[in-house]
Structure 1
Amino acid sequence: MMTLSTSLDIIPRMGSTVIEHCRTTRAHVDKDIAAFNGDMTALAEPSCCLRSRRITHSCISLLPPEILTTIFTYIVEEDTFKSHTGTPRPCDVPISVMITHVCRHWRQVALECPTLWAFLNCVSINWLDIMFKRSRKAALVVIYRSPGPLRKCFQQILSQLPRIKFLQLCSSPWEVDRILDCLSSQPALSLQTFKFSVVRKSYTRVIGPISDAIFKGRAPLLRSVELTECTFSWTSCIFSGLRTLDVRRIGSASYPTLSQLLSALRRMPGLEQLTLGLSSRISEDTELFDQVPLTRLKSIALDTCTLQNAVSLFSCLAFPVDVKIALNLAPIGSCLSDLFSAMHKDPDGPGPIIRSMRVSLSYHTFGIQFGTSMMFKSEYFWDPHDDDILLSIQFKCSSSTRKPPVVFDMCQMVPHRQIQSLFVTSSLCLRDNFWRVGSADLPELESIQLSGTCNIRSLIAVLQSGGTQSSDMAYPSLHALELENIDFGCGEAEELQDIIIMRAGHGVGIHELRLVKCRNLMDDRVQLLKEVVAVVDWDGHEEGLVGGDGSGGGCLCHICRDESSSGEDYAQALLHSDYDYDPDSDAYSED
């Protein structure tokens, strides 16, 4: 077989000649195919042979087998690990089989690569024997994301358990016991990653914990376990060498006490990523616990967790100061200070610098994030794996209470904060006090990015306030402002221009202005802003506010309200005023 080094040594010297020969040959074949299509009796060679000849003389066929194998493996891996493929495969044919149907050369290369046949992505029972045979002794990657394709073939698949290195199964509740029996029949000597989920419905039976007998107690290479709607025995030693543990939606029948949870974590000294769903209150027992050292921990995520559970767990863990923390909490109570004290046991010690803050406010969900960079790379708010987000807290609000909790109180509890960027996404109309509190708590803030359907009336009012000295102005370090998906009221663009002129006169000018998908903002108004701002980035989006009758009049500023004859829009605005943000509102109780 030609080696990669040999191919790289030969092809460059004669590449142009070979390519030209291929082009000439393909041109002749194309003529033959055209003649065949015009007159089926003109050629003795079938069209399939002509197409095969055309592929054989294509440039890609000159690639060494090693490179072709790499390309094929990449294609198969992409198909295996993607949640959804672009187009459905005909008759559930594996990608590796489809590759062998392109031409003789590709088929020969594919058949000589056992790894190519080791990816079993929802493969039907009809192809399993072929895949097992052609993969020879290669370690298997097995993924079944739904119970349907697995139902008929899990016994055949799990008979290969000793050579499976990646195993992801999704089971119906009625087949969990049978699948676990198969998983307990042999040791998993090659298994590195195990993902098991159960499709649950409200009327299905309770799923008990996975017993210690799984893998016959032998899985020496196992480093990652993800379980959904089921859990393991918290006293088991089978998962002691884990680097990743992800257990969500734990059933009430297998819910751990705090001592059981801590004992399990104590047996995982090499743990790097921990995700737990702790929706029911953990029984704290009566004994005192020594802190569990997780010296290699990189991230911890608590999903659908009560605040009390988070406080209890963090109080008993010792981990590095740069661990990324993501919390998806039930409605927050009054003990936020207890939570931050448990997470940051030594706030005056060394740690990463927090440079950015992102706030998301809506009717049912609120969230706050703190990052170490000036920007947020992730579009998702609750993302445990975002490298730049050191702390992320998201929680549901009570439907009976419409006022969101105090986000800037959380900001004051975060150690090592030098916040220079503030990102606010809100579907609520923020009051003046929101921006005043933000100005007081974020004195070093350099940029504000505001997006959502809320207007900027309150922000304009706060930016106008201040004395004659630059230090008395709101946000004295602010120099960049980004407005996205904002409804400009009548005269607000002119007011913003006046504010920028006034602040520039006090030495606190805004030098960058970005406008994206803003409504009721026309070119002439943007030109006014360009006269006073050095850099104005406008996407050119021009759109007037449209009322319910389609004739305009949707603006809710005081001028338009006074001119409105029916006052319906104003009444609608008053209806939504209950959703306004009040930073002085009482925090939620856990009840």
Structure 2
Amino acid sequence: MPVEAATLGHVEEEVARQKSVLSNLHTSRNRLPTEALRDIFIHRARDYHYKHMCPTKSVPSWVNVSYVCRHWRNVALDCPTLWSYLFIMSRRWTEVLLARSKQASLKIRVNLVYLLCASPVLSCVGIVMNHVERIQGLCLRLPAPLIQRGVLSRLSSRAPRLQYLDITVEYPNSPVEWSSLLFDGDPPALRTLRLAACAVPLYSFRLSALTVLRLVDVPVQFQQDMEEFLATLSRMQDLKYLYLYDALPSATGFLSSAVFKTFEKIDLTHLSRLRIRAPLSTTVTLLSCINIPLKTQVRLECKSESNSSLDHYALLRSLLAQRYKDQTQSSPTILSLIVQSTERRATLTFGPRQRDTTPTTYGEWDRDIPLRIELDYLMVDEDAIICDICSSMPLSNVQTLSVHRPIFSPAFWRRILRQLQNVRYITLYGGNMPDLSVLSLTDHTAHDSEGEGLGGLAACDRSQSHVLAPRLEKLGLVYITFLPDYNSDLPEPAITRGCLMAALSTRRLEGSPGHLTMTQCNIPDSPRFNMVAVWGGGGGGGCYESPDVDVDVYLDSDWNLEVEEEEQEEGEED
């Protein structure tokens, strides 16, 4: 072979070798560290696990990480935690997952509700339940008949790693009491317990480490009475979240018992959220028997009972007054009040944000609402109850008042506005226009008297001039209906457009500036009405330009209106 050919071959071999070395260097440079890749895989599996209830129609997408390349597969197979997020589909997959997860703590979610044939999945569940000692999180959805088919009988042994337990029973037409003791009654690491429509007796658990308790729709025959529940609650000193939805019976009898009068309150010093949906007597009893921090977010859904009395509402008011008597920095300042009224139902939301008045968003936990109270099926004077509850709250800093369906008497508005001396924005949503004559700058009505309370909303002991809502900057009306000017026999405490202007005339003459806006309001004998007007500013009126309105409004010194309304489009509904 010629020397040149041998040299050329050697060169080609060296080029190939150098290309291979360069390729390997590029691969090493672009490859994520094994630890980072493992964390990404686990994050993907965990995200899928908590968003889907198994079984699914196909293998979860995150499993494909083990088929991308050899390196990814090696990383995946060498990560037991990745395979501990069990999806129960078939016996083969169940056994593979258990083997790959080695001794990692198991997270299991199983939905047996909509299965046409539950036997294959039940067989897989049985295999998993043989590893109870490894279960860290267990979420079960099962119809009531399956309780007796051995699903839970395998959960009688101890579960030292169990931290999260969530069981929901569907179709509990005839609730079944569980005969076996779950986890030998002692899951020492249990932190979160969520039970829906379950007959699991709480007293069968050792719950001293619990931080989250959520009970929903407990079958009536298995509900603990108040004394029993309080005894159970007293063992949960570390609770952070307590949710009770239709989980406790009426506590009317306990309220009048000697035990209640001498009951030593339970200190829940770590509680940050409390939500109760229960009879009114149960709600006030529970609030009376626990001490919780001022920063705790509280939501109460109080259901009236046939034997509900004014005493129950008075006790609720007293409890709220006592809770907020000593304001500290740990208690959120209340800057907004939202009152929603429907037939025989009222909702009060006390918010920490100045303009927190969006009708569809109030009351959510992520908005840090300090307190929300729902009063269902009111049997007594709604105006008086709402005023009494508001009077128990520290509302001196409230900037925004929003009222939905404001069908309330002038006495109601007078009493509410006396508390809200710093209110700047008032918005009314829907319903008939209430009588807001009390918005006159000087109100010649009585101050609150000791007798003005439940059953005595309009009571007074002396007449005295005082200013109501002196800082009011904006009055907004949204979908409000005005009655005709010629209607002298009003079916409800509502006023006409002319009466509203008269009520605001005093504020105008006194030079207290502000804006009146109407959005899609109903004016008799006219299309839906939008308006923006200015009052005050030295006694003059004028037109306030806004791109959001389709009418121009001119206010002369006597508040007479000359309105140039746009014609409605053909077919538009009033």
Global fold match (TM > 0.5)? yes
Letter paired with 2:341: L
Cα separation, partners in 2 of 1:228 and 1:475, compared to 1, 3 Å? same
- What is aligned with 1:444? 422
Letter paired with 2:427: Q
Structure 1 stretches lacking a partner, 5+ long:
1-24, 26-56, 555-591
Corresponding residue to 2:287 among 311, 314, 332: 314
Superposed, which structure 2 residues align to 1:48-447 within 5 Å? 63-82=32-51, 91-101=57-67, 106-120=72-86, 127-145=93-111, 147-148=113-114, 152=122, 153-177=124-148, 178-184=150-156, 186-201=157-172, 204-208=173-177, 213-276=181-244, 277-282=246-251, 284=254, 287=259, 288-303=262-277, 305-331=278-304, 333-334=309-310, 335-342=312-319, 345=322, 347-351=324-328, 352=331, 353-363=333-343, 365-376=345-356, 379=360, 383=364, 385-386=365-366, 388-397=368-377, 406-414=385-393, 416-424=394-402, 426-427=404-405, 429=407, 432-447=410-425
Cα separation, partners in 2 of 1:347 and 1:67, compared to 1, 3 Å? closer
- What is aligned with 2:469? 475
Cα distance in structure 2, aligned partners of 1:103 and 1:494: 78
Cα separation, partners in 2 of 1:439 and 1:93, compared to 1, 3 Å? same
Cα separation, partners in 2 of 1:467 and 1:372, compared to 1, 3 Å? closer
> Percent identity between the aligned chains?
24
2:514 is aligned with 1:510: yes
Q: Does the CA contact (< 8 Å) of 2:169 and 2:198 recur in 1?
A: yes
Cα distance in structure 2, aligned partners of 1:113 and 1:505: 77
Q: Does the CA contact (< 8 Å) of 2:406 and 2:434 recur in 1?
A: no
Q: Does the CA contact (< 8 Å) of 2:438 and 2:503 recur in 1?
A: no
Cα separation, partners in 2 of 1:112 and 1:234, compared to 1, 3 Å? closer
Q: Does the CA contact (< 8 Å) of 2:473 and 2:513 recur in 1?
A: yes
TM-score (normalizing by structure 2): 0.69
Deviation at 1:181, TM superposition (A): 1.2
Cα separation, partners in 2 of 1:497 and 1:308, compared to 1, 3 Å? closer
Q: Does the CA contact (< 8 Å) of 1:354 and 1:417 recur in 2?
A: yes
Give the length in aligned residue pairs: 481
Cα separation, partners in 2 of 1:261 and 1:480, compared to 1, 3 Å? same
Cα distance in structure 1, aligned partners of 2:176 and 2:411: 50
Deviation at 1:536, TM superposition (A): 7.7
SS in 2 for 1:246: strand
Cα distance in structure 1, aligned partners of 2:508 and 2:30: 65
Deviation at 1:192, TM superposition (A): 0.9
SS in 2 for 1:188: coil
Letter paired with 2:507: R
Cα separation, partners in 2 of 1:501 and 1:346, compared to 1, 3 Å? closer
SS in 1 for 2:471: coil
Deviation at 1:243, TM superposition (A): 1.1
- What is aligned with 1:9? none
Q: Does the CA contact (< 8 Å) of 2:518 and 2:529 recur in 1?
A: no
Q: Does the CA contact (< 8 Å) of 2:517 and 2:533 recur in 1?
A: no
SS in 1 for 2:426: strand
RMSD: 4.6
Q: Deviation digits for residues 215-247 of structure 1, max 9, x if unmatched? A: 123311111111111244343352222111111
Structure 2 stretches lacking a partner, 5+ long:
1-22, 445-464, 486-495, 552-564
Deviation at 1:538, TM superposition (A): 5.8
SS in 1 for 2:93: helix
Corresponding residue to 1:458 among 427, 434, 445: 434
SS in 1 for 2:48: helix
Cα distance in structure 1, aligned partners of 2:528 and 2:73: 60
Letter paired with 2:154: C
Q: Does the CA contact (< 8 Å) of 1:324 and 1:389 recur in 2?
A: yes
Deviation at 1:210, TM superposition (A): 7.4
Cα separation, partners in 2 of 1:377 and 1:450, compared to 1, 3 Å? closer
Cα separation, partners in 2 of 1:247 and 1:127, compared to 1, 3 Å? same
Deviation at 1:260, TM superposition (A): 1.3
Deviation at 1:370, TM superposition (A): 1.6
Cα distance in structure 2, aligned partners of 1:533 and 1:157: 76
Deviation at 1:174, TM superposition (A): 1.4
Cα distance in structure 2, aligned partners of 1:110 and 1:537: 60
Cα separation, partners in 2 of 1:433 and 1:137, compared to 1, 3 Å? same
Cα separation, partners in 2 of 1:84 and 1:209, compared to 1, 3 Å? closer
Larger proportion of helix: 1
**Larger-Rg structure:** 2
Cα separation, partners in 2 of 1:179 and 1:476, compared to 1, 3 Å? same
